[in-house]
Structure 1
Amino acid sequence: MKKLLLFLFVLLSLHTFAQHKREDTDPYGTKALSFGPEVNIPNSSIFKVGYGVSGKAVWPVGDYFGVNATASYNRFFLKDRYLTPFNTGANVFVPVKVGMTFFWDEHIYANGNVGAVKQLNYSKETNVAYDFGFGYLLPIKGRSNLDIGFRYERWAKTLMRESVLRVAYSFDW
């Protein structure tokens, strides 16, 4: 909880002290793509940590709303006590989700998604996944941003719960 509060404080501080005003963009009316790494921290799981890459597309549907689609490739590593000769620890999952994004202003957003997660090795099962989170778009130059986001994600069948930190390069198209 302390880490979450610290993250929120840093996020709001960045927003408060941002001096860069972009005149050439419409903050709510542009389509955006973002790509970047993410760190996965499982909660009460057989996995100790995970990492991956993700891509996200956002299409505006109103003044403050957008529809988004995300896909990622994640590797999770088992806790030592769950390692077996048949499962050496690296489990690969590919979540694909769609959802809505709400923009509070030009930089701060919240989103929720639902979709499916497919395991690519070992059991090869498919799970329903949903998440909710928030993020901050830190302007870099012109029509590009650094997308810093945090989300809580849950997978239905496996009872996987995780917190995910994502830092991505975002650009309008």
Structure 2
Amino acid sequence: MKKLLLSFALVAGLGLAANAQTEGAVRKLSIGAEFGFPTGEGSEDNMIVGGSLQYEHPVAKSFNITGSAGYLSNMLTGDTKDAVKAFGGKTSYGFIPVKAGGKYYFGGNFYGAAELGAAIATEEGMGTAFAYAPSLGASFSLADKSSLDFGVRYETWSKDGSSSFVGLRLAYAFGL
């Protein structure tokens, strides 16, 4: 919970320090670095890292529809990683999340978003999970048609149970 509150504070700070220009809903493509911190019991020895692309298309003055895809690696860390390695086990698993949704810009640079989709495992036999992710973030201009985007989300994957993580995304976006 501390990580989530710290992330929200960081988003707010970035937004306040941002350029006063209104970002709003514009057509753009962003490429970003992704970091995730699993929640729930037994998740303290996991970390998620990866990257993603996101396309935004305006449908109203402050609303974009979104489509995103990327690659995330769920990696074991610390003592758990050492123990699994000692027995010859795998210490990371890859996933390809593919999602679509909407992003609403309120207060200029700040936005709220929600996406639904699938998290496709790259390991045989792990299958595909239903994914949903509400998020908050800030986007601010760097130049005429480029911006920096920082978002915090709570993503859940459901398949024979569910797993969740707090995700952070730092992205460079350019207008199309």
Sort the TM-score into its range (normalised by shorter chain): 0.7 to 0.9
Correspondence for 1:83: 84
**Inter-CA distance 159–134: structure 2 relative to 1 (3 Å threshold):** same
The structural deviation recorded for 1:141 is: 1.3
Q: Highest relative contact order (Cα 8 Å, sep 6+), 1 or 2?
A: 2
Q: Give yes or no for the alignment of 1:60 onto 2:63.
A: no
Cα distance in 2 for residues equivalent to 1:49 and 1:137? 25
Gaps of at least 5 residues in structure 2 are none
Task: Count residues in correspondence.
Answer: 169
Q: Give yes or no for the alignment of 1:164 onto 2:167.
A: yes
Gaps of at least 5 residues in structure 1 are none
Please tell me the root mean square deviation across aligned C-alpha atoms, in Å: 2.2
Correspondence for 2:114: 112
Is residue 147–residue 168 contact of structure 1 (8 Å, CA) maintained in 2? yes
- 1:105-140 Cα deviation digits (max 9, x unpaired): 331111001001110114240111101001111221
* Structure 1 residue ranges, 4+ long, deviating more than 6 angstroms after superposition: none
**TM-score, structure 1 length as denominator?**
0.86
Cα distance in 2 for residues equivalent to 1:71 and 1:156? 18
Correspondence for 2:7: 7
| One-letter amino acid of the counterpart of residue 91, structure 2 | G
* Overall identity of the aligned pairs, in %: 28
Correspondence for 2:49: 51
Is residue 100–residue 115 contact of structure 2 (8 Å, CA) maintained in 1? yes
Cα distance in 1 for residues equivalent to 2:89 and 2:68? 28
**TM-score, structure 2 length as denominator?**
0.85
**Inter-CA distance 103–61: structure 2 relative to 1 (3 Å threshold):** same
**Inter-CA distance 162–5: structure 2 relative to 1 (3 Å threshold):** closer
